[in-house]
Structure 1
Amino acid sequence: MDKAAGKIELRKRLVSERLALPNRLELAERLQSVMRFWLIDRPDTIIGAYWPIKGEFDPLPALYRWQEDAVLGATLAQSSEPATQATEMPPLAHQSLASRSPRKIGLPVVDKVHKTLIFHAWYPGCPMEEDAYGIPKPKDTEIVVPTLLFVPCVGYAAGGYRLGYGGGFYDRTLATLQPAPLTVGLGYTHGFLPDFEPEAHDVALDAILNDNGVVWAGPATGQDR
């Protein structure tokens, strides 16, 4: 079996195993916590992510909390009430939180001409539509340019290398984004590939997080990025 065919089979196996994980909900909760702690000291205000498919980890709850924290932090700083009262917002205020937060979340929309990804702002309840691959995407929201990009991993390896779905969308996108965003892979522990051999065109991610914590952190993960 050649290398390309081997990767196809490896992807199929890993996706099948991921869908069959009996404790996927528990693992997702742990990775949500890892994400939230990892984001605490990040200076980014625009983060790109993805809509989860095929049993992928869902990063959006943690990112919405990250977005929410900016508003709640400002509310607490201006309020003389105890924190337990200051954080209680009426439903309408909660619904409009995304519009009041200085932090933005972007989800990818495929540019069919260049086969790259453009990121549009997402928030809970925003209008959505399916793209050509049947994946939900924001409809007619503003374009944002992330400085930090969370990337789904089918599999991952030492050194920050990622096994994706083989479409090359992220690689082409990262080659065009200026300035280049910090890239962070997300995946479950089962996706670690100890024998994975990167090819010449493979570009390492800046960091990888899984349900056990930080798997890989390159030098670019400091606050200078």
Structure 2
Amino acid sequence: MDKAQQKRDLRKALIEQRLNLPDRLHKADLLQRVMRIWLVGRTDAVIGAYWPIKGEFDPLPALHRWKEDGELTGESTRRRIGMPVVDKVHKTLTFHAWYPGCEMEEDAYGIPKPKDTEVIVPTLLFVPCVGYGAGGYRLGYGGGFYDRTLATLSPKPFTVGLGFAQGFLSDFEPESHDEPLDAILNDNGVVWPSDRPDHAVVVEDGVQRLVVRFGV
């Protein structure tokens, strides 16, 4: 079996596992909390995210809370959320302003996207993970949209993978064209790619502590 087929089979298996997690809603609640805590202190005014499909973690509740927090504190710069829109010609993504209740339409892949809202450029980008490995390398859906998009953005946004701990791959081997993420959040806490892939910062009762653990 060639490597491409192995990856296709791995994606299929991980998505099936994710859809059938018996406690997926509980894990999603934990990751919402991790995400909200992680965002505290970030200075970004524009964050890119995604519309969840195939059992992916939904980042939008935490981001809506983040946006509201900025309004409540009276920040001078309005916080904004961008959702990806596919450029079918170049197979890259642009990010269009999204807010709860904005009009949506399906893209070429059947995924909802904002309809006729302005293009915004995120300084922080949350990326969905089918799986992930040490060093911040992500297994996506194989389309290469995020890698191509990141290659076109200047300055490059800070990239954060989102996924459940179930998606950790201890033997994942990235390919030469794969770009590592700057950080990964899962339902156990904050996983930081580094030269010590067995280290993680775990959030418990609002307190971050360093433990020797990765993706579990």
TM-score per shorter chain, which class? 0.7 to 0.9
The 1:218–1:103 alpha-carbon spacing in structure 2 relative to 1, beyond 3 Å, is farther
Q: Report the structure, 1 or 2, having the larger helix content.
A: 1
> Which residue of structure 2 aligns with residue 110 of structure 1?
86
Matches for 1:58-137 after TM superposition, within 5 Å: 58-74=58-74, 102-137=78-113
Quote the Cα distance in structure 1 between the aligned partners of 2:152 and 2:42: 23
Quote the Cα distance in structure 2 between the aligned partners of 1:70 and 1:161: 31
The letter for the 2-side match of 1:56 is E
> Which residue of structure 2 aligns with residue 198 of structure 1?
174
User: Per-residue displacement from partner, 1:87-125 (whole Å, max 9, x unpaired)?
Assistant: xxxxxxxxxxxxx97000000000111110010000000
Q: Report the structure, 1 or 2, having the larger strand content.
A: 2
> Which residue of structure 2 aligns with residue 141 of structure 1?
117
Quote the Cα distance in structure 2 between the aligned partners of 1:212 and 1:43: 24
> Which residue of structure 2 aligns with residue 33 of structure 1?
33
Q: Check whether the contact 1:206–1:218 (CA below 8 A) recurs between aligned residues.
A: no
> Which residue of structure 1 aligns with residue 140 of structure 2?
164
Q: TM-score, normalised by structure 2?
A: 0.88
Please tell me whether Structure 1 or Structure 2 has the larger radius of gyration of its CA atoms: 1
Identity %: 74
> Which residue of structure 2 aligns with residue 6 of structure 1?
6
Displaced runs of 4 or more, over 2 A: none
> Which residue of structure 1 aligns with residue 18 of structure 2?
18
Give the Å deviation of 1:218. Answer: 5.3
Q: Check whether the contact 1:154–1:187 (CA below 8 A) recurs between aligned residues.
A: yes
Aligned residue pair count: 195
The letter for the 2-side match of 1:109 is V
Where 1:74 maps in the other structure, the secondary structure is: coil
Uncovered stretches (5+) of structure 2, i.e. residues with no partner: 196-216
The letter for the 1-side match of 2:191 is V
Where 1:113 maps in the other structure, the secondary structure is: coil
Tell which has more relative contact order, 1 or 2 (C-alpha 8 A, sep 6+): 1
Quote the Cα distance in structure 1 between the aligned partners of 2:193 and 2:9: 28
Give the Å deviation of 1:174. Answer: 0.2
Quote the Cα distance in structure 2 between the aligned partners of 1:10 and 1:148: 28
Give the Å deviation of 1:74. Answer: 2.1
Where 1:172 maps in the other structure, the secondary structure is: helix
Q: Check whether the contact 2:131–2:140 (CA below 8 A) recurs between aligned residues.
A: yes
User: Per-residue displacement from partner, 1:34-74 (whole Å, max 9, x unpaired)?
Assistant: 00000001110000000000000000000000000011122
The letter for the 2-side match of 1:124 is P
Quote the Cα distance in structure 2 between the aligned partners of 1:159 and 1:137: 31
Uncovered stretches (5+) of structure 1, i.e. residues with no partner: 76-99, 220-225
Q: Check whether the contact 2:46–2:80 (CA below 8 A) recurs between aligned residues.
A: yes
Q: Check whether the contact 1:158–1:216 (CA below 8 A) recurs between aligned residues.
A: no
The letter for the 1-side match of 2:179 is V
Quote the Cα distance in structure 1 between the aligned partners of 2:8 and 2:33: 31
Q: TM-score, normalised by structure 1?
A: 0.84
